[in-house]
Amino acid sequence: MSQLSVLDSRDLPELLVALQRYGYRVVGPTRRDGAIVYDELVSAADLPIGWTDEQEAGHYRLKRREDDAVFAYAVGPHSWKRFLHPSPLILWRARRTAVGVSIETPTEELPRLALFGVRSCDLHAIAVLDRVLRGGPFVDPYYAERRSRVFVVAINCGHFSPSTCFCVSMGTGPKATFGFDLALTEVLEPGRHAFVVEVGTEEGAEVLRQVPHRTAEPWERAAAEHVVKRTAARMGRRLETAGLKEALYANLEHPRWDDVAQRCLTCGNCTMVCPTCFCFTVEDRTDLTGTVTERVRRLDVCFTTEFTYTAGKPLRQSARSRYRQWLTHKLGSWGDQFGVSGCVGCGRCITWCPVGIDMTEEAAAIRSPSEPGERTR
Amino acid sequence: MREPSSAPPPGANPYIPVPFRVSGRRRETADTVTLRLRSPTGDSLPFKPGQFMMLYVFGVGEVPISVSGRPRRADILEHTVRAVGPVTRRLAALRRGDWVGVRGPFGQGWPLALAEGFDVLLVAGGLGLAPLRSALLQILAQRDRYRRVTVLYGARSPADLLYRLDLTRWQQRPDLELRVTVDRADERWRGQIGVVPALIAQVERQFEPTRTVALVCGPEVMMRFTVRELQKRGVPDDLIYLSLERNMKCALGLCGHCQFGPAFICKDGPVMPFSRLAPFSEIREL
């Protein structure tokens, strides 16, 4: 275990300044449109200091706190794929020339991003995207380039959403254990507000050296440890993962799929807020003269009928089949494809489902024997 | 999951098409043409029968199309395209000299090495003959490596038959059994009428079930019945290979569109043994 340091809350702004001095554009949580989203942080004042959230299935509200907690909320509608797997994205531009067609990739210099306040579930989500987009036989060069340039400041969860978070059962939280340059634990007690800092990389150590800090006292280490232990102990919601893939494959005709299809609006909100949903489509845009065209990539949603449009018709016509594809992919076939679950237990899909469908509840129902009188094949 | 047989060169951007030109064009049917493509700079894209390319029409879009030509000439690509959507309509209308972007080859091809020493049964429905033509040309070029070779081909009507010249040539070969059927005949049709799977009963003495590799491509319903006929005669599931079709945006295993259960058709397919598809073959809308 590396040595832990303590950063007084007064000095947190200095950490952002140090990152900016290193040439990073800092992106992290900020309050906008009644939610905590991820966007550029010009200074620490952009952080949602003194705010918390209230999340339930299909419900999200921000509330003022009595204190100046910086990270006292769970994840919001955004995830880091917004920066690492951005949509829309121009893949290339082609121009008709006298001798044929010339194709070029965009040449804009990409900013180096510092992701500020990454939760453990989202570190796991980034690791999932790593496997999907740069771990296979074909590497996505756009993702790989963005990913290789990020600096990660993780935050260990002292606050979580009891109705939606289930990282403990997924083995993905609440403590950041890999994939960060620096990891913070917010310790907020009467008369004391500080961040215990763990260094993950040499670059993290270098940045920390630019910020006033001191070595953590044993009791401060214990306090930080207590923060994540308390979160882990209190997280009641869970997804039973043992044998889940097999159970889903064995129940592709379970009547629960019809049941959930009655509720599901096939809006695709769950895929948009999911930190690992990576599917995309491409479209070609041509200028009015017809000489320049560009291929644009956009994140796509498996809940649309267009998604499976093949040889003149969609293959997944019913809502039942589209919800089933999403859930069995996320919790089942993802494992066959990438050796890891597609779900990290962040709970975003539960909160942001307009009708409050809870995927942990659906998965539990689908793996249980169907109701008497109903038949499954 | 197997690795694709075409590993990308490291550092290359796999989204960027390679320029080709139409060097020949043959009308097959009212809505289908075979394009012959050549690289102006002599580039070749070595492929295996059963693999596919992403063909790009400038400013319109890109579609996955199987290779249907002979793999020996990797600098010449042949693709048979039916005009059904915006991109395939434009592809089918291309003329000699027109520019086409090509990415590929992608995916797993037909198991022609595995089939050596075996009877080979090629079963095609409609446009499904296109990827099988590539396999057959390869087999005929190395005919002595295989035991009996049988081709069963069904089209909707006599006017829908592809590769007429090839069909005539194949019909005349003593080392190849070819049976052709149509769903609906016209007054001049002297051949068989009926669906392709029904032809299997006619040729069941032409193959020894446990020493047969079956290569099947066609509409899903045709493949489902073909598999049943083959199973009935004892051809094992792991020797029945199907070529599947799905929506594809990238062909790289990244866009997520072509999933079929745990498989990405673009990289684990398009050709897959039925033994891998069997657990999901009766599930509708998968």
User: In the 3-class helix/strand/coil scheme, how is A327-365 assigned residue by residue?
Assistant: HHHHHHHHHHHHCCCCCCCCCHHHHCCCCCCCHHHHHHH
Q: How far apart are the first and last CA of chain A?
A: 52
User: Omega of the bond prior to A88 within 30 degrees of 0, cis?
Assistant: yes
Instruction: Please state, in angstroms and rounded to a whole number, the distance separating the CA atoms of residues A316 and A305.
Output: 6
Token readout for B95 is: 């003329």
Of all residues in chain B, the percent with pLDDT exceeding 70 is 96
Domain that holds residue B199: 119-243
Nearest to A331 by CA among A251, A234, A220: A251
Alpha-helical segments (H) within B123-249? 129-141, 164-172, 199-202, 220-232
pTM: 0.94
pLDDT of residue A377: 38
- At a CB cut-off of 8 Å and minimum separation 6, what does B169 contact? none
Q: Is the pLDDT of residue B3 over 80?
A: no
Domain assignment present for residue B129? The answer is yes
pLDDT tens digits, one per residue of A129-163: 999 999 999 999 999 999 999 999 999 999 999 99
Q: Answer yes or no: do A308 and B257 touch at CB < 8 A.
A: yes
Number of domains in chain B: 1
B255/A contact by beta carbon, under 8 A: yes
The DSSP call for residue B270 is B
Domain assignment present for residue B91? The answer is no
Q: Is the pLDDT of residue B192 over 70?
A: yes
Q: Which of B66, B89, B250 to mutate to test the interface with A (most CBs of A within 10 A)?
A: B250
Provide block-wise average pLDDT over 10 residues at a time, chain A (377 residues).
Answer: 87 98 98 98 98 98 97 98 98 94 91 97 98 96 95 97 97 97 96 96 97 96 96 95 96 97 98 98 95 97 95 92 98 97 98 98 91 46
pLDDT of residue B6: 45
A window 129-148, beta carbon within 8 A of B: 132-133, 136-141
ipTM exceeding 0.90?
yes
Q: Please state whether beta strands B52-57 and B61-66 pair in parallel, antiparallel, or not at all (unpaired).
A: antiparallel
A275-287 residues labelled b (16+ CB within 10 A) or e (exposed): bbbbbbbbebeee
Range B278-283 average pLDDT? 90
- Show the CA angle centred on residue B268, arms to residues B286 and A337, nearest 5°: 70
CA-nearest residue to B60 within chain A is A284
CATH code, domain with B206: 3.40.50.80
Domain assignment present for residue B194? The answer is yes
Nearest-neighbour CA in chain B from A117: distance (Å): 28
Amino acid identity at A113: L
pLDDT of residue A128: 98
Nearest-neighbour CA in chain A from B152: distance (Å): 23
Domain assignment present for residue B281? The answer is no
A236/B contact by beta carbon, under 8 A: no
Domain assignment present for residue B59? The answer is no
Token readout for B3 is: 């690795």
A288/B contact by beta carbon, under 8 A: no
Residues of chain A contacting residue B13, judged by C-beta atoms under 8 Å apart: 92, 105, 141
pLDDT of residue B10: 55
Domain assignment present for residue B202? The answer is yes
B225/A contact by beta carbon, under 8 A: no
Q: Is the pLDDT of residue B5 over 80?
A: no
Q: Answer yes or no: do A293 and B267 touch at CB < 8 A.
A: no
Domain assignment present for residue B30? The answer is no
Nearest-neighbour CA in chain B from A86: distance (Å): 14
B13/A contact by beta carbon, under 8 A: yes
pLDDT of residue A211: 97
The DSSP call for residue B56 is E
Q: Please state whether beta strands A309-310 and A313-314 pair in parallel, antiparallel, or not at all (unpaired).
A: antiparallel
pLDDT of residue A2: 62
A42-67 residues labelled b (16+ CB within 10 A) or e (exposed): eebebbbbebbbebebeebeeeeeee
A window 240-269, beta carbon within 8 A of B: 249, 252-253
Range B84-90 average pLDDT? 94
Q: Is the pLDDT of residue B4 over 60?
A: no
Token readout for A240 is: 């039973």
Range B157-167 average pLDDT? 97
pLDDT of residue B11: 63
Domain assignment present for residue B34? The answer is no
